[in-house]
Amino acid sequence: MFVVFLVMFIVTALISWSWVRGIDYMKENHPNYKGEDFLGDDFVHTASGRDMWDDYDEDTAHYEGDF
């Protein structure tokens, strides 16, 4: 049982260490990055160059009984 807790602690410590190291890297090398291009207010989910939500049609849904 002790071995399981030790392995869990080591894995958690490695993940935490690499996460903090990544945050430090971004802060030092890209200080002006705010992450707005990731999920900002103007986020549009696109697929193959067009907006998926504008092309969405509820009549194209398939249900279990349709197969």
Say what the pLDDT of residue 58 is.
55
Q: pLDDT digits over 19-54, tens only?
A: 999 999 999 998 888 776 666 555 455 544 555 555
Does pTM surpass 0.75?
A: no
Contact 4, 12 (CB under 8 A): no
DSSP class per residue in the chain: -HHHHHHHHHHHHHHHHHHHHHHHHHHHH-TT--SHHHH-TT---EETTEETTTS--GGG---GGG-
